Amino acid sequence: MRLSGLDWAIMLGFFAVNIALGIAGGRRAKQSLSEFFVSGRDVPWWLAGTSMVATTFSADTPLVVSGLVVSHGVAGNWLWWNAVASGMLTVFFFASLWRRAGVLTDVELIELRYAGRAAAALRGFRAAYLALPINLVILGWVNLAMAKILGLTLGLPKGPAVGVCLLLTGVYVSISGLWGVLWADVLQFIVMLGCAIALAVYAVMAAGGIDGVMRAVPAERLSVLPPADATWMPGVALAVYLGVQWWAAWYPGAEPGGGGYVAQRIFSARTERDGVLATLWFNVAHYCVRSWPWILTALAAYALYPGLRDGTDRDGEGAYVRVMIDHLPPSLRGLMMAGFVAAYMSTVATHLNWGASYLVRDLYARFLKPEASEAHYVTVSRLATALTMVLSGVVTLFLGSIEGAWKILLSMGAGTGLVLILRWYWWRINAWSEISAMAASLVGSLALQHLAGMNPDDPRGFAHLMVGTLAITTVTWVSVTFATKPEPMETLVAFYRRVRPSGGGWAPVAREAGDVGPSGPTVGVRLRDWALGCGLIYLSLFGVGKVLLREAMLGSALLVGAAVCAALLWRDLRRDAIT
């Protein structure tokens, strides 16, 4: 694909604006670790929520969605749609608790909730685990996607092309801290969403409009539910996705108990209410706003390229880029490339900053140099950002598949979700509960794969692996919890006073705490609003899809249902029930 001088000017100008935002944010970021990593806890909900959306709107995501739709139809998206329930747990059960905790990283919570050497060891291990293998795999697959895009569009070699993008992103992140990341994310989200919509419009037009797409794509591929006899999604696999995975498995961005960069944005929010609204907006935009432009482009690609239909071309991920090359007008190609760059930079920027926060706050400042000045920590934070950038480039060389990297993380986190949920609502959970859950999840998953022959690439094997790992992990951590001593009462009382969780799981601690009661609505109210939130997302998502695919009556009915859910949620939010 040839780019004109104007196209290159658009792309270079986009880089320049992001670096300018980084320099502007750097004036505040250099003041303290709080400014560098959580923007001084002064971020409005719309900015924090939009930044969450931009982070998940990566260069790899349209390619993955395209691959899923080309291979399995619209229903292939249940690989990530199942996490709606987990996201809504964070909104209504955990966002306010995270904000009250007042920590700088989610790992720092460990030494508030637990005490002693076990807590310190868990904090150090989890910080290193998240900052290095987990974060680097995520950055690696984002780099891999960008390399694929640049290779297909411009014919650039993987190493130099990704190196330039990674370097420029690392420069503004290391200067700006989270402030620059947040404001750049707003710009990047606007650019990449606009480009995704424009590409979908031109792709559908090239395929003969919606009617042309629907003639070329079999009806079962347009359904939001997989066929009953689908080999790629048998009933047992769908049941595990919808009934187990969202609460049982830990996955970055969809942690059952909150956490990760979502928690980082909650920490940065001005108030608890801002944290809740930011997370709610993130989930609405994440599923309802972004999905259909990608899906329509993938369906159009299926209609346009015979090789995708007859199986001779299996590069469903690359089909998204091919549509851009073949059917987007030359006048928009530079802007579309800027959109891909925006998607890439928004995700990489967050993960560089997020990973560095663990390295500095939870490892360096906690264990190596706890008495240093804020200026010293900010300097080290910038160096840690640069180190993460370099290591992610190395990891990219060893990743072969984006979807394969997803499955690695899912299998490694299976079974740990329940502990991360219950540590907020049951006083008896201790540090050994988390340690044993993590160990059992990893060992159990590997044992089931290599000794029992459960193949995660096979849908039934993946479902059996998830359930088997969950069973092993749950039995292990429950046994360990009751076999070990509870955390000291003074630690539990301090945590309860600070976070004020609701529910009866803290009854013994609440009696010791005296007149400090839980804050916010009851668990029953939270469950109701969780269900309404899930209804809002799914009804909106499927309603929009039905309208686009010529089922206006059903689509309109679903959207009315979504509006009812939204109205009921708004009533609770106006009453300050969810704070």
Distance between CA atoms of residues 74 and 208, nearest Å: 19
Q: How many CA atoms lie within 13 A of 43 on its CB side?
A: 36
d(C-alpha 181, C-alpha 446), whole Å: 37
Examine the pLDDT at 208 and tell me if it is beyond 70.
yes
Greatest Cα pair distance in the chain: 71
pLDDT at 402: 46
Q: Which residue has the higher pLDDT, 493 or 79?
A: 493
Q: State whether residue 518 is helix, strand or coil.
A: coil
Q: Residue 12: pLDDT band by 50, 70, 90 thresholds? A: confident
Cβ-based burial of 100 (10 A; exposed 0-12, middle 13-18, buried ≥19):
middle
Looking at residue 449, its pLDDT comes to: 86
- pLDDT, residue 408, reads 57
**Are 474 and 429 a contacting pair, CB within 8 Å?**
no
| Lowest mean per-residue pLDDT among 1-15, 56-70, 310-324, 462-476 | 1-15
4 has pLDDT over 80: no
Segment 39-47 shows an average pLDDT of 93
Residues 534-560, mean pLDDT to the nearest whole number: 96
pLDDT over 60 (residue 553): yes
- Helix, strand or coil for residue 269? strand
C-alpha dihedral sign at 253, 255, 260, 265:
positive
The answer, yes or no, to whether residue 30 has pLDDT greater than 90, is: no
Residue 325 and residue 153 in contact, taking contact as beta carbons nearer than 8 Å = yes
Q: Does residue 77 register a pLDDT over 70?
A: yes
pLDDT for res 482 = 97
Average pLDDT rounded to a whole number, residues 41-65: 89
Predicted local distance difference test score (pLDDT) of residue 87: 92
* Cα-to-chain-centroid distance, residue 433: 25
Q: How far apart are alpha carbons 132 and 126 in whole angstroms?
A: 10
CA distance 178 to 514: 38
Mean of pLDDT over the chain = 87
Distance CA(165)–CA(146), nearest Å, equals 9
* Residue 518, number of CB atoms within 10 A of its CB: 16
Q: How far apart are CA 60 and CA 144, in angstroms?
A: 8
| Token reading at 376 | 């010293």
The pLDDT of 181-204, averaged and rounded, is: 90
Q: What is the pLDDT of residues 242-293, one digit of tens each?
A: 888 888 887 666 778 888 889 999 999 999 999 999 999 999 999 999 999 9
pLDDT greater at residue 364 or residue 163: 364
pLDDT (average), residues 504-531:
86
pLDDT above 50 (res 13): yes
Given a cut of 70, whether residue 403 has pLDDT beyond it is no
Average pLDDT on 10-18 reads 78
CB neighbour class for 5 (10 Å; exposed up to 12, middle 13-18, buried from 19)? exposed
Measure Cα distances from 446 to 226, 250, 533 in Å.
29, 16, 35
Among candidates 520, 535, 540, 544, which has minimal Cα distance to 568? Answer: 535
Q: Are 207 and 44 in contact (CB under 8 A)?
A: no
pTM: 0.90
For residue 500, the 8-state DSSP code is -
Q: How high is the pLDDT of residue 578?
A: 57
One-letter amino acid at 560 equals V
d(CA 234, CA 226): 8
Alpha helices by DSSP H, 207-329: 209-216, 219-222, 235-240, 246-248, 260-268, 272-284, 291-304, 306-310, 316-327
Contacts of the segment 486-493: beta carbons below 8 A, 24+ positions apart: 486/427, 486/428, 486/430, 487/113, 487/114, 487/115, 487/427, 487/430, 487/431, 488/115, 488/116, 491/113, 491/114, 491/115, 492/427
Q: Give me the percent of the chain exceeding a pLDDT of 90.
A: 50
In this structure, are residues 403 and 160 in contact, taking their beta carbons and an 8 Å threshold?
no
User: Across 312-316, 419-423, 575-579, which has the greatest mean pLDDT?
Assistant: 419-423
Q: Give the mean pLDDT of 149-168.
A: 75
